[in-house]
């Protein structure tokens, strides 16, 4: 009888401890769900620049990138000759130079579906590599910049993240309506559970 009472009390106090932490997780989750990270970072206060420049090396040649009104253009530096997009063979060389991976093949990706493992600017080269973790390297077709590296480990993380934020389509929207509604329900559940702990039978 004493053992049964001990187990019941242990479970009761352990539950209140866990419930309080769940409440804190829920409150913080509600804040994240209802506030866009771009606004929290203050991006709405930035004024766009009229024009921006970047000079970088592309396979031993200097290239200047010009960004004007959101559009990018590329030319060799300093003569200003227009440059062409990278070829598949050039992308394989760049991948070998900029990573520790062994590239096998490259494919130009011009469009993707929601939730695809690469979610950046297009077009981009998808470079398959000789690796145990099925690693793909995504390389800018103009600059040769490594945009993303995706592996099976990342894909598992991405899938679990989609379950966590309840965005099963795009997998990166933490402000979706489903998460907002369920977070409120979770808050009510947590508060009611804690309240029951203090209610005398």
Provide CB contacts within 8 A for 79, sequence distance 6+.
none
Task: Report pLDDT for 23.
Answer: 86
Q: What is the pTM of this model?
A: 0.82
Provide CB contacts within 8 A for 131, sequence distance 6+.
101, 102, 151
Tokens 């001990």 map to which residue? 6
Cα-based angle 193, 167, 70 (whole degrees, multiple of 5): 135
Tokens 């590296």 map to which residue? 149
Buried b (16+ CB within 10 A) or exposed e, 113-150: eeeeebbeeeebbbbbbebeeebbbbbbbbbbbebebb
Q: Dump pLDDT digits (tens) for 5-36.
A: 777 777 777 777 888 888 888 888 888 888 88
Provide the β-strand partners of residue 128. Answer: 105, 136
Task: Report pLDDT for 55.
Answer: 95
The larger pLDDT score, comparing residue 184 to residue 101, is at 101
* % residues pLDDT > 90 (the chain): 51
Examine residue 123 and say whether the peptide bond preceding it is cis (omega within 30 degrees of 0).
Answer: yes
Distance of CA 78 to the CA centre of its chain: 36
Q: Dump pLDDT digits (tens) for 130-146.
A: 998 999 999 999 999 99
Average pLDDT over residues 50-63: 93
Q: Would you place residue 201 in the very low, low, confident or very high pLDDT band (cuts 50, 70, 90)?
A: low
* Phi, psi torsion values for 187, nearest 5 degrees: -65, -45
The average confidence (pLDDT) of the chain is 89
């Amino acid at each position: 009888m004493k053992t049964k009472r001990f187990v019941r009390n242990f479970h009761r106090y352990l539950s209140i401890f866990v419930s309080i932490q769940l409440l804190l997780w829920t409150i913080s989750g509600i804040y994240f769900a209802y506030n866009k990270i771009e606004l929290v970072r203050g991006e709405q206060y930035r004024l766009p620049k009229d024009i921006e420049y970047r000079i970088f090396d592309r396979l031993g040649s200097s290239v200047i990138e010009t960004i004007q009104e959101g559009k990018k253009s590329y030319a060799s530096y300093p003569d200003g000759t227009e440059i062409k997009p990278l070829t598949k063979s050039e992308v394989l060389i760049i991948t070998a130079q900029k990573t520790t991976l062994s590239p096998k093949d490259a494919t130009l990706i011009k469009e993707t579906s929601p939730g695809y493992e690469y979610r950046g600017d297009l077009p981009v080269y998808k470079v398959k590599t000789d690796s145990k973790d099925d690693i793909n390297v995504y390389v800018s077709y103009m600059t040769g910049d490594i945009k993303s590296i995706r592996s099976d480990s990342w894909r598992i993380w991405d899938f679990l993240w989609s379950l966590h934020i309840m965005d099963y389509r795009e997998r990166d929207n933490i402000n979706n309506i489903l998460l907002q509604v369920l977070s409120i329900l979770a808050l009510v559940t947590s508060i009611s559970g804690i309240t029951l702990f203090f209610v005398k039978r």
